[in-house]
Chains A and B, each alone.
Chain A
């Protein structure tokens, strides 16, 4: 028997995990989708969006940062946690200025896809209408700050995968903003093929002149909801 293998349960289902896995990684391997937003493959987890919150032996924990331990009893797809995640997604919507109908990321946007998966048609919180800018200074890449969810995926990807440091954060609390390593994006060494640009889950970081290339009907989430890439295909579901 593999001594590195441990067992735990998610929503009553026994799964095998490897020591050193996070709960999210173990769940992925077992075909259990834990909703997530700031997590991205190949990057260290940030634990910022909190969409992946699960209960571990009753205690709330971020699945993307919490390592597995033998015998953990994990709640994931419960009404309480679905409600909690809906609240968090709602918060992200009202915190920014999101207008899906004008956004070229529509259909490929993880925030939008999460909202659909959770059955959100309109947020229950009042819009905060923040003042955020657009930076179109760079010839190939642009930033629409209105759509940023502060997940930090670009910040981490630029450093860990591109060997650059194009992005960072300034400010704190509700004043926290995505920032670039220079007076504007044109002054940085960002390039359209950077993994950091592709890392953006929303329409904040965009490569210019390719919008709407993928026609409606063939976009990422047109046919199956976000998370279905992890869940085993159960026909009829």
Chain B
């Protein structure tokens, strides 16, 4: 065994030059060979890289897609995001448990399957969806889920999972030889910028004919703001990076797309990879970077070979590599860094930690990434969609771009729309479109509430439907989840808090502990044991978590609670029990005594349940 362990670990470490900063890639590759990363594998990796084993264990235990113990040869991860639950994921879960004979978190006795829940896998438009290893299986029913498992059993270990799991290829590049996925694009509306017919290379050609400073000026004149959520002016970020001292600079494209309900970058990566890589190349030219990194979330591993192929083709054509397009002095290439199941790694400093082979903890700021980012070098982190706007701005002119949208929010925005509506999918609309107009387009006119911007955004009701989707009003990285009549705002809040508890890195106190406390109280109210004081308790606790948290995750994680308290207060109030005779109505003594009664085998005289 130990020989095979050495055989697995040593060549992998060797292939990454025993570079400690590539630890995440090394562990992913080791896991692929061994099935899991147990203590002995951890020791072996630590010895090969000459680093403390506790550091390796720290990384393994941080990422959802790395497993400390042995796991099944196929890992099934069912997505537990709200659109999935609303479309019946729990029934699918029951079907899987029954067919496999195990519960979630367990492995079948024959070591064939492990069953787990996953946070949003970026398929909310075709929910319920699951990952079988890297293979996406969308639009599941309990019946198909059971049938697929039975057929995989019959096929045995050897075959390609896709032969069983993929019945029909999706549209566009989902059918490409290197993708072969049943994922659908569900591109409902192509706009002027991202999904308009594009002339390959036009933007890059124009950019390379300009000076880097001129490129940045053009992006500033277009008033391009970051599409990843924060809306920071892209040109200004690039200027900071360009102005920072250092022998090297880095450009990182954030394709972590972890905000539940967001899947627009998936469609860009599938249908517009050349536009993205062109945008990255222009950004590299503008900031003076020779290296770009595409941080691709682990859930999108099914796109990796295809993206590598697109990159190879670009190298072949001289669009990447030494002297890009024959431009003397400008070399630029791109590597893909796989993520491994951690939402916090979408936060730009955590993303940098992850690229450096560390736990995905955010970093202290200052220094900001623009000053000292990846491996200490000035770094620009930009969202996929942001980078795709860039070649179009260069090609068509900043005036053209700025003429779309509103004054402070120019251009178009991709919206990922899911939930209770008839046309789920990606819509490219001018910024400044009202929520009501969006709901009309997606067939969600019945909505009683919409989650704008994912869990870290806000749940709004009909009184907000005339507000505009833009950076200064209803800001969103792109996720809109529509809730129809009968959906419960407290259930929404409770589920989203479960997400944040699962995804907090745990570095800082307020987020690590506060989210657990927020969910405890929401659940108490949901169970009918809430008291009037609980609303003030929630509001104060939520405010403390927001104020004291170290990164954007904890600074926004109380939003599901705070925005439902603000916009759906009656849903809370209807469930509260006022105290009688000064007693706590929420205290259920029979329930509290149940366990000790069970353990002692005696009943309480006074509080017999």
Contacts and interface: CB of A to CB of B under 8 A. Distances in A.
A136 interface: no
Interface residues of B, number: 39
B372 interface: no
Nearest to B362: A47
A45 B549 contact: no
A165 B54 contact: yes
Contacts of A221: none
A180 B39 CA distance: 13
B364 interface: yes
Contact of B509 (A67, A92, A168, A175): A92
Interface stretch (B55-63, B168-176, B247-255, B397-405): B55-63
Contacts of A169: 58, 359, 506
Interface in B268-322: none
Interface in B351-368: 359-360, 364, 366
B72 to A, nearest CB: 22
A172 B510 contact: no
A214 interface: no
Contacts of B544: 83-84, 87-88
Interface string B484-514: 0000000000000000011111111110111
B520 interface: yes
Interface of B is mostly: helix
A176 B54 CA distance: 13
Interface residues of A, number: 42
Given A165-B54, A173-B505, A180-B54, A84 B512 contact: no
Interface string A178-194: 01111100000000000
Nearest to A86: B544
B55 A175 contact: no
Select the residue from B364, B501, B520 with max chain A CB neighbours within 10 A.
B364
Interface in A87-106: 87-88, 91-92, 94-95
Select the residue from B344, B501, B548 with max chain A CB neighbours within 10 A.
B548
A51 B548 CA distance: 8
A27 interface: no
A83 B539 CA distance: 14
Given A87-B544, A150-B506, A168 B366 contact: no
A7 B53 CA distance: 46
A232 to B, nearest CB: 28
B52 interface: yes
Contacts of A88: 509-510, 544, 548
A236 B503 CA distance: 49
Interface in A30-56: 45-51, 53
Contact of A48 (B517, B520, B550): B550
A173 B508 contact: no
A79 to B, nearest CB: 13
A22 B279 CA distance: 38
9 contacts: A47-B550, A50-B508, A87-B540, A88-B510, A169-B506, A170-B57, A171-B61, A171-B62, A172-B360
- Sorted nearest first, the 6 A-B pairs with minimum C-beta distance are A176-B506, A168-B54, A91-B513, A173-B504, A170-B61, A181-B54
Given A84-B544, A168-B55, A179-B57, 15 more contacts: A47-B364, A84-B548, A87-B540, A88-B510, A92-B509, A126-B517, A168-B57, A170-B61, A172-B62, A172-B342, A172-B344, A174-B504, A176-B505, A176-B512, A181-B52
